[in-house]
Amino acid sequence: MKLNRAAALLFLFMAFTGVAQQNLTNALIWSGGEFSGEFVGGLNSMNDGLHYTATEQSDAFGTKIIKYSYATGTEVGVIATSMDIFQDASKSFDGYEFSSDEQWLLVQTESESIYRYSFSANYYVYNIASKKTFPLTDFSKGKQMLAEVSPDGKHIAFVRANNLFVMEIASKLETQVTRDGAMNKVINGATDWVYEEEFAIAKGFEWSPAGNRIGFYRFDESAVKEFSMDIFGELYPEQQRFKYPKAGETNSTVGIYVYDLSMGQSRKVDVGAFADQYIPRIEWTKNNDQLCVMRMNRHQNKLEFLLTDLAAGAMNVVPTKVIFSEQANTYIDISDALTFLADGSYIWLSERDGYNHLYQFDASGNVKKQITKGNWDVIEFYGMDETTMTAYYTSSIVSAMEQQVYSVNFKKQPAAPVRLSQQKGTNSAEFSKGFKYYILVHSDANTPADFVLYDAKGKQIRVLKDNASLKERMVKYSLTKKEFFTFKNAVGMDLNCWMMKPSNFDPSKKYPVLVAIYGGPGSNTVSDAWGGRGYLWHQLLCQQGYIVVSCDPRGTQFRGREFKHSTYMNLGKLETEDFIDFAKYLGQQNYVDASRIGIQGWSFGGYMTSLCMTKGADQYKAGIAVAPVTNWKYYDSVYTERFMRTPQENSGGYENNSPINFVKSLKGKYLLIHGSADDNVHFQNSMDMVTALVAANKQFDLFVYPNKNHGIAGGNTRLHLYTQMTNFLIENL
C-alpha cells in the first residue's frame, strides 16, 4: 500500500511519538474540557502605561486581579481577590473597573444576561488601601445595569428599572436622575432592543471629561409594537413581552439629555424636529461643553455629527450645530472610531473613496488628511497617540481572509503603514495607555490563539498564553487542514473559499460535500482564523467521510464598498446565485459526488440555506437551517431597512428573496431548527415557514428547543443540537 507524503509524515510522527490516533465525537467537542482553550481575561492597562492587570481563578482566593509589568511580562503583585473583597473565595466576580486614581474598584457580581450585550448585576465598591467593601446600592431594589465610574473618580452612574442613578462614592449618597422609566414604555440611560442588537450599544449614557455631567439617551418606546414569547416550564407558561420594531414599523422616539451633577438638573439636547431618525452614538469631545451626537436618517444613508454648546442657550434646551455630514446612495456603517483630538479635529472611518479608511476632519467637517489609503479596508481602529500623531488599526491589506495590525504616522504625507503583526492569519491587539506596549492575539485556520506581549518597536517580551496544551491534545485526533482557494461565479468574479478534506483523502474517490455558510453582510466565514468547536465539528464530519467547504459570496466584507454594497435592495438574491454557482463548481470536481451536496447555516446562514434548498433545489440534496429568517418583513427595522429599505418602499426586494415564497421548489431533505424563545430571529419565522411547507405538501423535519434564544445553548443543548445535525447529514447526505 503506497502512502502519500502527508500520510507518510503522519505515520512517522505517530510512530516516533507513540500517539494513538482517536476519532472525534460530539461529546468530546461539546461537553467537558477536552478542547477548552486558554485566554488572558480581564485585561486592563493601568494609568502609568507600564503595567496592566488581568484576572485569574484560584481555589484559595477566588478571582484574583493580578498586576503585571509590560516591560517584563511578569507578575509584580496582586491588587485584590475575592477573599479581600468578600472574605469568601467561593464568591467570584465577573468584571471590574478602576477609579481614575486607581484607589477604588467597581466589582461586578451575579451577572444575568438580558439580550446580546446587556446584563444586570450586583455591584460592589472596594477601597484597595483600606480593603473595605460596600454595595453600590440597595440590592433589594433590584439588580443594576451599566455601572461606570466618573472620570474624576468621585461618582458612579448606573441604571435600574429603566432609570438613571448617580452614587457619590465618598458619601454613598444616591441620586435618582430620571423618574419616568417604565418597562416597555420609557428607557433612560440604556438602549432599546434594536439599538443594542444593530448599533451594538447597550449603555445609553456617557460621562463628560470633567466628570460633572452625563449625556444620556431617553427612549420613548410606548408606540413600538410588542412581541411576546411563551416561556415554558410551569403549569401556566410565563409570557415574555418586549418592544421589537419590525421592518417598516414604528421605532422608538429617541431624545438626548445632559444631566449636570452640581445643578441637579437635566437639559434636553436639540437633535432636530424630525422624530423618525436614529442616534447611533454620543461622544464627548475634549471640551466639557461639547457633546457630539451622531444623527442618521431612517434610510441610514445620511450621517451627521451635531455638536452641543452647553455654555449657551436656554436652561431647558441645549443648542447644537452640524459639524459633519456625509451621504451615500446605499447606506453608511456606524463604528466606534470617532476620536476627538486636542485641536478640535477628529478621526472617523469612511468609505467615501470606495474602501473603508481613516480620515482626519477639521472642526468644520472638512477632510484635513486621509490617514490610510489603498484598495483594502480598515477593519478596526484602536486609537491614536497624539504625541506622535500615530494611528493604530487592523486591516485587510494582505487579504480579505487575513487581519493584520498596523500603525501609521501621518505627520508627513503620504503616510506609509507599519505592520506590527508578522504571522499569517488573524491578528488583533490590546494596547497599553500611551501605546508603548501591546498584547497581540494571533490565530490561523488550523491553530488556536496565542497571546504575546510586545513593545512599541515590535520586540517580543513574553508569550503570555500559547495554548500548547490544547495544541498537544489536538494531535491525537488526526485532524485535516483547512485550505483556502477561490472560484469564479457565473459573472466571472473570484470568491474566497475554504475546504477541509478527510485526512485519508483519495482523489480517485467521490465524496459528499457539506457547504457551511453564513453569507450575510458584516460576517465572513472565509477567514484565516481559529474556528473553535465549530471547526472541530467540521473535522468530525471529515472523519465521517465528508468534504466541508465554505464561501463568502457577494455582499460580504473587507473587499471594498462596491463588493459589500452590491446586494443593496435585494438581500439574498446575489448571495443565492453565488451559492448555486458554488455547488455547480464543486460538482465539477473529480473527487466530488455532485448528487450529494448539502448546505448548513445559522441565522442569515439559515436564511441562505432555505433559499438554496428552494431556489437552488437542483444543486442541494439536503439542508439544515438553524434559526433562519424566512421573510424579511419579520425582522427588525434597523438591520433590514439598512439593506432593503422598508417593505412599503421595496416590496419586490422583500418578496422575491424570502424563502417562504419558494417552498414549492423544495426537493431535498430539509431540517428546520429554532429556539422557541429567540428574541432576535423570532420563532415566528419558522412557524410561518412550516405553514407554507404544509400548504405546499412538502415533507421536512422540524426541531424546536424550548426556551432557547438565538444562540441555542446551555446545559446539553449544543451537544444535542450538533448530534442531531450530524445524524441528519449521515442519514440524508
CA dihedral for 403, 406, 408, 413, sign (positive or negative): negative
With a cut of 80, say whether residue 560 has pLDDT above it: yes
With a cut of 50, say whether residue 378 has pLDDT above it: yes
Question: pLDDT for 282-329, tens place per residue?
Answer: 999 999 999 999 999 999 999 999 999 999 866 689 999 999 999 999
Provide the residue type at 375 as one letter: N
| Helix locations, 413-569, DSSP H | 468-474, 532-543, 561-564
Question: pLDDT for 434-468, tens place per residue?
Answer: 999 999 999 999 999 999 999 998 999 999 999 99
Distance CA 282, CA 15 (A): 61
Whole-structure pTM value: 0.94
Give the range among 230-239, 404-413, 481-490 with minimum mean pLDDT: 404-413
pLDDT band at 415 (very low <50, low <70, confident <90, very high): confident
* pLDDT recorded at residue 412: 75
Are residues 261 and 716 in contact, defined by beta-carbon separation less than 8 angstroms? no
Question: pLDDT for 82-133, tens place per residue?
Answer: 999 999 999 999 999 999 999 999 999 999 999 999 999 999 999 999 999 9
Distance CA 732, CA 182 (A): 51
pLDDT band at 32 (very low <50, low <70, confident <90, very high): confident
* pLDDT recorded at residue 6: 39
SS (H, E, C) 38-68: CCCEEEEECCCCCEEEEEEEECCCEEEEEEE
With a cut of 70, say whether residue 605 has pLDDT above it: yes
Per-residue pLDDT, averaged over 358-365, amounts to 94
Are residues 575 and 567 in contact, defined by beta-carbon separation less than 8 angstroms? yes
Are residues 730 and 723 in contact, defined by beta-carbon separation less than 8 angstroms? no
Tell the residue number behind the cell numbers 481577590, with chain if given: 81
* pLDDT recorded at residue 9: 40
CATH number of 23-32+474-732: 3.40.50.1820
Host H or E run for residue 85: helix 82-86
First to last CA, the chain: 30
With a cut of 60, say whether residue 10 has pLDDT above it: no
Question: pLDDT for 256-289, tens place per residue?
Answer: 999 999 999 999 999 999 989 999 999 999 999 9
Q: Which three cell numbers stand for residue 336?
A: 466606534
Domain at 152-334, CATH homologous superfamily: Dipeptidylpeptidase IV, N-terminal domain (2.140.10.30)
Are residues 622 and 729 in contact, defined by beta-carbon separation less than 8 angstroms? yes
* pLDDT recorded at residue 314: 65
Query: What are the extents of the domains in the chain?
Result: 23-32+474-732, 152-334
With a cut of 90, say whether residue 17 has pLDDT above it: no
